[in-house]
Structure formats: structure tokens, C-alpha cells
Structure 1
Amino acid sequence: MCNPDSGRILVVGGGVAGLAVALRLSPLPVTLIVAAPLGREAATLLAQGGIAAALADDDHPSLHARDTIQAGAGLTDARVAERVADAAPACIAWLEAHGVRFDRSGDTGSALLLGLEAAHSHRRIVHAAGDQTGQRVLEGLIRAARTTPSIKIRENLRVTDLLRDDEGRVSGAFCATTEVPDRSIFIPARAVILATGGIGGLFAHTTNPLSAMGGGLAVAARAGAVLRDLEMIQFHPTAIAVGLDPMPLATEALRGEGATLINDSGERFMEAVPGAELAPRDVVARAVFAQIAAGRSVYLDAREALGSRFCTLFPGVAALCRKTDIDPGRRPIPVRPAAHYHMGGVMTDHRGRSTVEGLWACGEVASTGLHGANRLASNSLLEALAFADWIAVDLKGSPQPTWSRSSSTLRSLPQVSPRASDEGSTLHALRTLMDRDVGVLRDAAGLNSAVRTLQAMMVDETATTERRDAALVSFLIAIAAGQRQESRGAHQRTDFPDLAPRPGQHTELTLDEALILAAKTDAAAVLTARRVA
């Protein structure tokens, strides 16, 4: 018997990646699953910087690709970088066709305003409402999705597991629902696309929504997918340090307009570094972290560069500052590094396909080969938009599998009722551990200690499934960080401070391989694993 919904495509995630895939797939029937009301918890909402695209007369996609490859510190796939850079102008046009209005110059508004950000050789950052690009893009795509007949939106559902048929192909997903907490609804699908975002919520200092704890990675790992370069986590150097969680972001575009970094002695400590404040993010983040580790406070100073123009050019950051009684045009902004973006993720090919049949990944949850060891600023939204198109093209040409009645429509989840205080303390301990042992600087002793602690958290029956998944993803990241015995891009080992002799070596893991590695490790051992070029 055929289920009428079995021919639908299931898209998991309501940020730019999930919405763009769903829209690109039209008129194919799509079910869009989001864990909260659509738009409420998407990291896209917080994206200030913009979208990179070579649109100026003196720019070219080949130059954009070159900058991307250089920032990636030897791990970027040049073919992917070239393909994404080539697609960037069309992605901007596609967004405009869906009602997103980008900032333009002059009285006639004929030319797009192009900003400069770190490690870009040309002005190519397209903004919407100054520093509110993510919000405007998200609003435009949500409007389009809600009026597209082929898209069925289901809110307040969290995917907990994928179902694979007898041939190993993903044929649907189990979703926890707030309406029936102890049950899971099964949604059949001919394909599942994970667009679940990143992992910043695993760290005590983050710019991400606290719900960004790698749920999509946990689901993919249990389904047997290969995960790549999980250790590559970008720490944004200028999160606003005013005690908020998550931390507000002082966009890199501020430094592009001349804002400088100073310590509490007024010293501009980046001045002697190649690129200064516009050096790659990993370089700036380590420099800021070093100042803080030495007992200094760090500030982003826009007084001279922007002054009274600050509120006009960066209204979003100005509003964030005002909430904490900071006038950024007259007073430096306190900042520190915070977990911001995950370059690693579900390994995909050039079509967005994972290593599991029937499973695709798009956006931050994916490892496409674009970002390498250090994402170039404003390439994140672009990557999601470009791959959304290619995934849709791939799926429109894919055959529709049959659906078997042997797949259950409901199953019980473990009855878990942890005390709220215990649950909160467990999560706090996990986030503190990740900051300390798997943060900006790492070593074998800290990573091995983290692995042992996280393994215990993974099987803690007093924790919710979501918290155990957070521990699982953190465990996988720590294992991957132990594998990479070098310092490259965003991954810095104090016990292996140099680059490995051979560039372009990726860390690839399945869950089973990670568990085997952990079993072979003790407190004195350095983790090892196969490395795939």
C-alpha cells in the first residue's frame, strides 16, 4: 500500500538553507519541519555581515574563489570555491526576485552598495538594511514559502532519528512533538534534506541561538553518515562581551569600515599583524584570546572611524549596544571570541548528497568543501543559497522510491523526566567543558579528558534525548580535534603548533569509528585515526 505522503521531500530546518531548498524544489511537494515557530530560532536571523558576490567592475568570481581558497588554509576544495563564487551573482538576483531589498547607492539606487570584510581582496559584501541582512533575507524567504502551495510547513517538531529501508536508503524521519512529548511522529519521505544549522550552543561563549546544538549532526551520525572536519569551528573575534547569552555580535563589517581593536591600555595590538584587523578570523580570534588570557580586556573602537555615523550605518549593532548603555560612537565596545560557525559537518558531494542514500545536507550542517579550515566572511549564506539550487536540481532528476507499510507510523521514545535544575546544570557543565577543552586553543590532555566526560554524558539516562544528542555531537567534535595533530586555520593545538607536512588532509569519521577510537584512548594517548585526502 502506498502512503500518499511518501513522495514528498522532507526538509529539516527553517533558516536560509531550509527555506531556499524548499522554494527551489517547487513545484515538487515538500514538507518543511522546524523545531520552533518558523523564523524564531534560525541563526540566519542573527547574520549581520551580508552575502559575498563579485559584482563590482574591478572584481570577478575567480578573485572571490581565490580569496575563499586562501582563507581555507589548505582544506578548501578549489572546484567548489569556483562553482560557488560563479553562482553568487545569480543567488543575489534570486533573492531580489523573492522580495529581498538590498542596500543601493546614489539617489537612483542603481548600484548595490558593496562592503569590505576580512580577507576579501575587493568590496563585494551585499547588505540589506545595513547590518540586518540575515533578518531581511529570512523574512523574504518566509513570505515566499508561506505562499508557495507545494510547501507544507510543520512547526514545533524536532527530528530525532531517520528511518532507513531494507536497502539502506533514508525513507523518512521520526519527529518529537510538543503536543505528545513521549511519542514520535513518523513522516515518510522519498528524500530527507538536513538544514539544521550549527553547533555554537555547545559552547559557553557563542553568538548562535542556544538551540544550535548540532541536532542534525547527531541524526546523521546515527544513520551512519560520514562526518568531515568536525574540529573546524570558527570563533568570531568580536562578540560583544556584556554578559548576555548568546552573545550579540559586532559584525566584521565594522572593521571593514575602519574600527580597530584595542586593549585596556589603549594599545592597538593587531597593528603589526599582516592584515591587521582585517586578517582572517582565526588570526584575529587568537590575538584577542591571547590578550584576554594575559588578563587584558579587549575593545572594538569605532569612535574615530565612524563616530556619529555608527547608528546610521550599523543600526542593528547600535541597538544591541544601547540595550547595555553603550554608545558605540563615543565608547569602545567590549569584545571577546565566541563560537560562531561550524566549517565541519555532514560530508557531501557537489550535489549536496551525503554518504547515506536518500540523505542530503545544506548550509552549516554540511561540509561541502567550500570553507576548509577557516570560512571566508559572508560566504555562509551564499553557500546555503548555491547548494539549495544544486540539491533541487539533483532531486528533480531523482527517481521516486516506493514506500512500504512495514515502516511504523509511531514509536515510543524513552520515558525521561529529568529535574529542570539537573538538566540545566548538565548543559552548563557541557558548555563550560567545550569552551575550556575544545575551544580556541586545544591540547591532547584536554581533549582526552573531554572525550571521557562526554561519553558519560551520552549515556546519562537522567538527561533528555536532546541533551544526550548535544553530548554525542560534542564527543564527535572532540574526537575529530584529537585526530588532527597540527594547527591549521581555526583548529589550533598548543601541543602541535605547526602545520602538518601534507596539506589538504581531512578528518572523516562515522559514529562507529569514533567509538572505536575512544575505546583505544587513555589519558596519556594522543588520538589517531585514518586521514582521507
Structure 2
Amino acid sequence: TATGWAQGGIAAAIGADDAPSLHAADTEAAGAGLTDPAVALRVAAEGPRLIDWLVSLGAPFDRDADGALALGLEAAHGRRRIVRAGGDSTGGRVLETLVRAVFATPSIEVVTASVHDLLQDENGAAAGVVCERDGARFRIRARAVVLATGGVGALYASTTNPRGATGRGLALAARAGAVMRDLEFVQFHPTAIAVGADPMPLATEALRGEGARLVDETGAAVMAGIAGGDLAPRDVVARGIFQALARGRTVYLDTRGALGASMPTRFPTVAGLCATAGIDPARQAIPVRPAAHYHMGGIRVDGTCASSVPGLYANGEVASTGLHGANRLASNSLLEALAFSGFIADAFDAMPPAAVLPEIRTARASSDLPAIRAIMERHVGVVRDAAGLQIAVDGLSRLAETGCDAALTALMMAQAALGRCESRGGHWRSDHPHAAPARHTEATLRSPGAAPSEPARTDEALAR
């Protein structure tokens, strides 16, 4: 997952001029018609309490001169409500805090291993996982399974995500028969640092909130004439940069001057990334381009993160909770995962014990990840069209026939994008540039119980 890499922060309505209702309204506006208003308000209302809880665990949030929590501003937020730790190291600092709390809790046993499959009972309910460690396979039986496996960014050649973010959790759930929702919606972060690294280092959106501007090689403003300018929603900014690059321009994030000089203390992660690339942000503009960053789609879940498969839950980026809609509002991802963790825990009391377990199924074949990444980058990127998406579906279908999880996840995403003949949020079709009536895309594999080696499941693709 990318939790430890999150630079932005946690959105929470704790300012004197703020309220959960305002936070929820901003979330809905960014979600482009597909955010569930009740979910947005419910999660926003949890924000202040969750920040207090993290503080009680020792989370080292940044504070102002008076000792109050320092609040930052990010794109599409109407108020300063971004709580940060270590400037641009929030994810890592929060993760460290939670890991310490886990290891201090005697009732939790930590097992580090790779998950190969879900166990299901004779009725199809989740009953545990099949794991592998040091070459040995073993089962962990459970009365419920929670997938918190992160996103899909590493399915793209240009990404800010860890290399392991290939959608394994989506494939596990799909093979178990779970309903997938809105898999076509991928958020491309506008300001990945274009210095040839893989994954691409990220210049946090908070820099634009503090005055950084997007310019081309002539110094002209890239976002001039576009509503919201440099602080427009991420999908708008990503398309603005993409279109400038398509015209042969080079795009930079301009932090020169006081902001760049303050970055080693205010944004140490980005300052370090720039130093590694030989860039002095106080004197040089930072070259940037869009890169796959966050997946709004995922496993369809209800208000307790329960999927359509009994006993199977999903939380965080792998889930589609109804919060993000077609375009995630900046810094809502950590908040979502924290809030729904509590909702899941409250639901567990009603879970029955796991039933009879089947034999372990065949392992998935390894992926041809470079080929998958090339297809996704070229045909399922910032701007899409039917011809390119059909090429992607055809190519990914062939790769998925071996039972490859990464190819299956990519195929499901491409098929969903081909079926959505409109432009909305993170999904932009050049052949369908206007929005249609708002709707969700839902799909399952046709034969969830079939063996992975049976190609008919991917040849026939998805049932809608």
C-alpha cells in the first residue's frame, strides 16, 4: 500500500471557520456526481475525533507557534483543514504511530507473508487466507477477512505508487465472486517529478496550496483561464498538464524564491527528492507530469465495508465506499481508511465462526508486468478513447488467460473504461467529452468458482 508514502495529510474539519458539512460538500463537489452524500458527511464527521485519537497515540502532528494543530490548504478544499506530520511525511508518521500501537497490543499477532488466495466455505463465504512465507504454504482461518491491499498505480508505467501496487486485492475479491464498482476511475496526480525515476517521486499538492505555480518553459501559466487555476481539482489539473505536454510544452512546478528556500524544513520529503535529482527548488523550477496515483474504484462495499461476499470486507484504496466518487478530494484517503476501520470493527461482533474449508486452489501465474504497464499507460491513461481501450482489452485478455492477477485487474479496469461512454472525474474520453446521467459501473467475473487456468472467464470478460 502507499500509506507510508502519503505526503499530503489528513483532511479534518477542526478549524474555527470549518465544519464537517463544509468538508462533505467539498468532497461531493470533487466526486463529480458519484459521491454518496451520506457517506461523505459520515466520514467528515469522524475527522475531528480521529485526529484526537491519533494525538492520544502519540502522532507527531505539526503545530503552529501557539501550539495548535497547523492546518494546510489543498486543491478543491474551501478551508484550511489538512493536518500534517513532518511537513510532507504524514503517511509515514501516522503509520509508525499505528505500528507502535499494534505491537503494544497483546491480542494482535503479526504475521508477515504473501497472500495467494482467499479461503471460502461451502457456501462461498470468506473463511480465511492462503499464505506463503519462505517457500512454505499455510492457511490462516478466520471468521472474516479484511482486504486493505492498496491500489493499482504500478499497473502503469508512470506512477507515484510502490511497485507492489498491482491490484492484488481486487483480483482476490473478483475471483471470489465480489462485485467491483467504478474501476475505470483512476486519479492521475498532476505533479509527479519527471526525472526518469520509477516509481516517480511526488511533489505534494500542498506546495500549490502554499503558492507554487504551474508554468511552461516560457514561464507562461499552464492553468491560465481554467476555473480554479493551480488549485482546481486534480483531474482538471492533470488534464491541463497532459494537454500542455501533448502540445510539445515542458511543464514545471515553480517554487523558486522563499517557498523553495523553506522546503527543507516545511516539505523535507520533496526537498530530499529534489536534491537526489540535482534540483535546487529555491533556484530551479521542478519538471512535472501526471502519473497514476490513486484508484477511486474498487470492491463495492456497504457502510461497514462489507463486500457482496459474506465475511469479506475491504477498506482503503482497494474499496469503493461511496466517498470518493469519480475523483478523490485531496487528503481524504487516510481519513477514509481510519473512519471505516472503526465501522468494520463494530460490525465484527455479528460475524459467525468460519465453516468448513476447501482444499487450496492453484497458485496464480506470474505476470508480464512490463507489457501490462505499457498497455495501461498508452491506452487507459489520462485521456482515453474507444479504439485505444479496445486494444487494451484485447491485449490484456490474452495476458489474463494464464490466471495472472495483475492482468485480470488491468482487464477489468479497461473493460469498465470502455463501457463508460462519457467523461467524468478521473475518466476522460476524448470521443465522449461530455457527461452523461450519473451512474455507477458494477461488474463481476462470470464464473467466480472456476479455476484460474480456465480462459473463458477472461475471454468473456465481465458480466454487467
Aligning the two structures, in what range does the TM-score lie when normalised by the shorter sequence? over 0.9
Residue 109 of structure 2 aligns to which amino acid in structure 1? K
- Shift in CA distance, 45/323, structure 1 to aligned 2, threshold 3 Å: same
d(CA) in 2 for partners of 1:270 and 1:412? 51
d(CA) in 2 for partners of 1:122 and 1:211? 34
d(CA) in 1 for partners of 2:33 and 2:431? 20
- Shift in CA distance, 402/383, structure 1 to aligned 2, threshold 3 Å: closer
Contact 1:483 1:529 in 2 (8 A): no
- Shift in CA distance, 511/300, structure 1 to aligned 2, threshold 3 Å: same
Residue 433 (structure 1) aligns with: 375
Contact 1:257 1:305 in 2 (8 A): no
Residue 400 (structure 2) aligns with: 458
Residue 400 of structure 1 aligns to which amino acid in structure 2? P
1:227-246 CA deviation, whole Å, 9 max, x = no partner?
00000000000000001000
1:67 Cα deviation from its structure 2 partner: 0.2
Residue 142 of structure 2 aligns to which amino acid in structure 1? A
Residue 451 (structure 2) aligns with: none
d(CA) in 1 for partners of 2:56 and 2:458? 50
Residue 10 (structure 2) aligns with: 51
d(CA) in 1 for partners of 2:10 and 2:401? 41
Q: Count residues with an aligned counterpart.
A: 458
Residue 452 (structure 2) aligns with: none
Residue 497 of structure 1 aligns to which amino acid in structure 2? P
2:401 aligned with 1:401: no
d(CA) in 1 for partners of 2:282 and 2:145? 47
Residue 65 of structure 1 aligns to which amino acid in structure 2? A
d(CA) in 2 for partners of 1:212 and 1:72? 23
Residue 105 (structure 2) aligns with: 148
Counterpart of 2:132 in 1: which secondary structure? strand
1:398 Cα deviation from its structure 2 partner: 1.2
d(CA) in 2 for partners of 1:185 and 1:362? 24
Contact 1:103 1:126 in 2 (8 A): yes
- Shift in CA distance, 57/169, structure 1 to aligned 2, threshold 3 Å: same
Contact 2:401 2:459 in 1 (8 A): no
Contact 2:222 2:251 in 1 (8 A): no
d(CA) in 2 for partners of 1:203 and 1:402? 37
Counterpart of 1:151 in 2: which secondary structure? coil
Counterpart of 2:95 in 1: which secondary structure? helix
Residue 135 (structure 1) aligns with: 92
1:407 Cα deviation from its structure 2 partner: 3.9
User: What does residue range 298-313 of structure 1 map to in structure 2 within 5 Å?
Assistant: 298-304=251-257, 306-313=259-266
Contact 1:172 1:189 in 2 (8 A): yes
1:135 Cα deviation from its structure 2 partner: 0.7
User: What does residue range 370-385 of structure 1 map to in structure 2 within 5 Å?
Assistant: 370-385=323-338
1:164 Cα deviation from its structure 2 partner: 1.6
Residue 133 of structure 1 aligns to which amino acid in structure 2? T
1:281 Cα deviation from its structure 2 partner: 0.1
- Shift in CA distance, 307/249, structure 1 to aligned 2, threshold 3 Å: closer
Residue 74 of structure 2 aligns to which amino acid in structure 1? E
- Shift in CA distance, 445/490, structure 1 to aligned 2, threshold 3 Å: same
2:118 aligned with 1:162: yes
1:91 Cα deviation from its structure 2 partner: 1.0
1:249-272 CA deviation, whole Å, 9 max, x = no partner?
000000000100011121112122
Residue 35 (structure 1) aligns with: none
d(CA) in 2 for partners of 1:44 and 1:260? 26
Residue 89 (structure 1) aligns with: 48
d(CA) in 2 for partners of 1:217 and 1:299? 35
Contact 1:479 1:518 in 2 (8 A): no
Contact 2:214 2:222 in 1 (8 A): yes
- Shift in CA distance, 297/402, structure 1 to aligned 2, threshold 3 Å: closer
Contact 2:444 2:463 in 1 (8 A): no
Question: Which of 125, 137, 142 matches 1:189?
Answer: 142
d(CA) in 2 for partners of 1:450 and 1:399? 40
Contact 2:193 2:202 in 1 (8 A): yes
1:304 Cα deviation from its structure 2 partner: 4.0
Structure 2: where are the runs of 5+ without partners?
449-454
2:61 aligned with 1:119: no
Counterpart of 2:253 in 1: which secondary structure? strand
Contact 1:238 1:251 in 2 (8 A): yes
Contact 1:259 1:300 in 2 (8 A): yes
1:351 Cα deviation from its structure 2 partner: 0.7
Counterpart of 1:105 in 2: which secondary structure? coil
2:167 aligned with 1:214: yes
Contact 2:127 2:354 in 1 (8 A): no
Contact 1:517 1:529 in 2 (8 A): no
Counterpart of 1:335 in 2: which secondary structure? strand
- Shift in CA distance, 480/136, structure 1 to aligned 2, threshold 3 Å: same
Residue 270 (structure 2) aligns with: 317
d(CA) in 1 for partners of 2:376 and 2:41? 34
Counterpart of 1:238 in 2: which secondary structure? strand
Contact 2:141 2:354 in 1 (8 A): no
Structure 1: where are the runs of 5+ without partners?
1-41, 522-527
1:76-128 CA deviation, whole Å, 9 max, x = no partner?
0000000000000111111112211111111x41x110000000000000000
1:459 Cα deviation from its structure 2 partner: 2.1
1:176 Cα deviation from its structure 2 partner: 2.9
1:483 Cα deviation from its structure 2 partner: 1.2
2:425 aligned with 1:473: no
Counterpart of 1:349 in 2: which secondary structure? coil
The structure 1 segments of at least 4 consecutive aligned residues displaced by more than 3 Å after TM superposition are 410-414, 513-521
- Say which is worse superposed, 284-293 or 266-275, in terms of deviation: 266-275
Question: Which of 307, 310, 313 matches 1:360?
Answer: 313
2:415 aligned with 1:506: no
2:48 aligned with 1:98: no
- Shift in CA distance, 60/429, structure 1 to aligned 2, threshold 3 Å: same
d(CA) in 2 for partners of 1:308 and 1:161? 49
d(CA) in 2 for partners of 1:459 and 1:407? 24
Residue 98 of structure 2 aligns to which amino acid in structure 1? L
d(CA) in 1 for partners of 2:354 and 2:129? 16
TM value normalised by structure 1: 0.83
Residue 59 of structure 1 aligns to which amino acid in structure 2? D
Residue 493 (structure 1) aligns with: 429
